[in-house]
Amino acid sequence: MNRLEHCLFHGLPAVRICASNGATATVTLHGAHVVSWTSPTGVEQLYLSPNTRFEPGQAIRGGVPVVFPQFNTRGVLPRHGFARTSPWNLLETQPLDNQVSATLSLPGNKVIKSLWPYAFGCELHIALQDDSLAMTLTVRNDGSETFSFQAALHTYLAVGSIQSVNLTGLDGSDFEDTTEAQPMVMKRHVALKPLEAIDRIYYDAPNQLQLQSASGRMDLQQSGFCDVVVWNPGSKAPPPPDLPADGYQHFLCVEAAQIGRPVALGAAQVWTGTQRIRAAR
């Protein structure tokens, strides 16, 4: 039976959605962060760093951080914006026969308003259907002043071994190689070299990709988002402090993103972007 449960995840208030086929997803109210997604067979599909700090105000390393309204340091806001470190509210949802879901809303508060003084609404809808996870980010302009934003679902996919990955569907696409010293270094897509640092932004990317790894094949689809980010820190540079030295071996980030062309929303306008992932098989 489809159901929604309130729970704690490493001390953080969270909600777990459970599908009748055995699939589950856990989302913390801190950051609307999807921290776990298991397939109907009980296999975890996301990577979560064992070194992450589950504390208010701290970003969680792994799962699916929500990047909004700024990507990385491409603006004056904190890195990747404020959504991933802010408290969200759970909206009431009813399980349906063919899917179970939860919707979280980002309320404005004094900290957010001091950083970004716009009237806006932001929601994340998380749904399990069959063997897939669908995440839909919705942004609404509730004021009279037009604003622009960037966004991404920074998805850490569990791959078993980084050396086993083969990401397909990007042939013919160009990407910005942000590992280069000079910004905006554009290259034509080539196969990933898993032990090297990977930090690529594919602009106007295809909306369907396949990731083959030791864990199996995942199908990834996106709509609304125009770009794709592929990231792994590799083996050569010191890892981020909240990632184990061997953490890079276990995930590949494939992110649905809107970076190159920030979304401009006028009064009462709404934007949505969705990433749907079919569990490895």
Domains of the chain, CATH where assigned: 3-278 (2.70.98.10)
Would you say residue 96 has pLDDT above 90? no
d(CA 29, CA 121): 16
pLDDT for 94 beyond 80: no
The pLDDT tens digits for 133-181 are: 999 999 999 999 999 999 999 999 999 999 999 999 999 999 999 988 7
pLDDT at 86: 95
Query: How much is the average pLDDT of 68-92?
Result: 93
Statement: residue 237 has pLDDT above 90: no
Task: Say yes or no to pLDDT of 93 above 80.
Answer: no
208 or 280: whose pLDDT is higher? 208
pLDDT of residue 238: 83
Cβ neighbours for 38, distance < 8 A, ≥ 6 positions apart: 22, 23, 24, 25, 44, 45
Amino acid found at 120:
F
* Three-state DSSP state, 247: helix
Report CA-CA distances (Å) from 200 to 55, 190, 239, 241, 246: 29, 11, 18, 22, 21
Q: Indicate the helix (H) or strand (E) that contains 111.
A: helix 110-115
Residue 109 has a pLDDT of 83
Tokens 């979280």, residue located = 104
Mean pLDDT of 236-253: 92
| Model confidence at 97: pLDDT above 70 | no
CA angle (54, 18, 132) in 5-degree steps: 90
Average pLDDT over residues 1-27: 94
